């Protein structure tokens, strides 16, 4: 007679991982749909300008970091 029996796991680790991955994917899809709905009314020209501005700003910051690392 065993006093302390080990309980059998009802959910395998693969099934748990699939459930977690499914929840993450579902939440990502919900967020993507929400953001697409929010931005659907914005003109394409403005989006292109905003992307260009972001790329220029990020590029300038990277050049600044490189310049400072070389000088110091």
Please give the average per-residue pLDDT across 12-40, as a whole number. Answer: 94
* pLDDT at position 57 over 90: yes
* pLDDT at position 13 over 80: no
* pLDDT at position 64 over 90: yes
d(C-alpha 24, C-alpha 54), whole Å = 28
d(C-alpha 41, C-alpha 37), whole Å = 8
* Reported pTM: 0.56
* pLDDT at position 50 over 90: yes
């Amino acid at each position: 007679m065993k006093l302390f029996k080990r309980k059998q796991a009802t959910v395998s680790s693969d099934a748990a991982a699939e459930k977690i991955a499914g929840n993450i994917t579902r939440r990502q899809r919900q967020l993507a749909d929400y953001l697409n709905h929010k931005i659907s009314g914005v003109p394409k020209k403005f989006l292109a300008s905003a992307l260009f501005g972001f790329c220029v700003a990020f590029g300038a910051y990277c050049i600044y970091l490189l310049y400072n690392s070389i000088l110091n």
